[in-house]
Amino acid sequence: MRCAASGARPTVGRTAVRQNRRVPVHEITDPDDERIADYRALTDVELRTRWEPPHGLFIAEGELVLRRALRAGYPARSYLVDAKRVDQLADLDTGEAPVYAASQDVLEKATGFHVHRGVLASFRRRPLPTVAEVLAEARRVVILEDVNNHTNLGAIFRGAAALGIDAVLLSPTCADPLYRRSVRVSMGEVFAVPYAKFEQWPAGLDQTREAGFTVLAMTPAPDAVPIQRLSPAQRERAALLLGAEGTG
């Protein structure tokens, strides 16, 4: 651990500070410290979904994911890391965002789980584009209806990125793509694949058709049209509709 350039170990109040190249690293010893309030009770889905969107923030877990969030242009509010992993962020330009470090015991008490990746960050959300704006720039989109499992949502974004899908459109009752678990499962692809939420449902499907898309849904029904028989016009601008986990 390096001391400050003056040779004395500076403090902020009673909080010790270590240097992380560009910015000081503040050591957190109390899990109830208000400076890390963004990270409290991360496993309480109901609490987090009521807290994060209204306060314009989301949590990224893991070094790879937080770096992708930064590359995508999301402004960081703060960083919270395992004290043993501070050097993982040493090359980052963290700007004005404070870096907090704590022991695994403090991290677990504050967040509600064992932070085995050792790195968390709180980011500011950005305004979402409108459905019309997303459709105007896309050729192939995925439409999700009532997908409310965050793990499934993250997996869909990751698959959409792998398949070259231009955008994801969400019905009003879909889960939040920027919830921590969605972000983690998507490996940060929620930052790369544009998405928007319909204000009206199922009227949003008509809006999609009016924008020149063919809405397609998959079904095992024997009278369904095989995907191989779709015409070139139907394939030109396709919107694949995926249903909820229960009703499909």
Q: Give the model confidence (pLDDT) of 53-77 as tens digits.
A: 999 999 999 999 999 999 999 999 9
* pLDDT given at position 1: 34
Looking at per-residue pLDDT, the higher value among 10 and 112 belongs to 112
Q: Which residues of 208-231 are buried (b: 16+ CB within 10 A; e: fewer)?
A: beebebbbeeeeeeeeeeeeeeee
10 Å Cβ neighbour count for 162?
Answer: 9
- C-alpha 167/C-alpha 196 separation (Å) is 8
Q: Which residues pair with 25 in a beta bridge?
A: 18, 99
CA dihedral 94, 41, 173, 137 (to 10 degrees): 10
CB 49 within 8 A of CB 176: yes
Q: 6 pLDDT exceeds 50?
A: no
* pLDDT given at position 21: 52
Q: Which amino acid is at 90?
A: A
Which distant-in-sequence residues (6+ apart) come within 8 Å of 60 by Cβ? 66, 69, 120, 121, 122, 123, 180, 183, 188
Pairing of strands 214-217, 238-242: parallel
**Residue 22 banded pLDDT, cuts 50, 70, 90:** low
pTM of this prediction? 0.85
Picking from 32, 23, 236, 211, the residue whose alpha carbon sits closest to that of residue 135 is 211
CB 135 within 8 A of CB 128: no
